[in-house]
Amino acid sequence: MLPPRFMGDMPVMVNMKQATRILKMRQSRAKRQLMMLDMGYDVDHRKTGGRFTMARKKDHVRSR
C-alpha cells in the first residue's frame, strides 16, 4: 500500500515497482519545490504554470 499524497485521500494499492517510482517522483517534486522557494519563486500550484518546471541546463558534450 502506498501512503496518500494529500491528507484525506485513501491509500493506493500498487506493486513494488510502481510504489518505488511514485515515491521517487514525489521526492523529486518536493526537492524542486523547496529549491524554487529558496530562489524566491511563487510555487502556488493553483496558478497557471505551477508545475514547478525549471529551465534545463544544456549539456555541452551532447550539443556538439
Residue predicted with more confidence, 14 or 44: 14
* Average pLDDT of span 16-32: 88
Q: Is the pLDDT of residue 34 over 80?
A: yes
Task: Tell me how long the chain is.
Answer: 64
Most distant CA pair in the chain, distance: 50
* Average pLDDT of span 39-62: 68
Q: How far apart are CA 62 and CA 49, in angstroms?
A: 28
* Average pLDDT of span 12-33: 88
Total Cβ atoms within 10 A of residue 30: 11
Full-model pTM: 0.59
Q: How far apart are CA 33 and CA 55, in angstroms?
A: 14
* Average pLDDT of span 15-23: 90
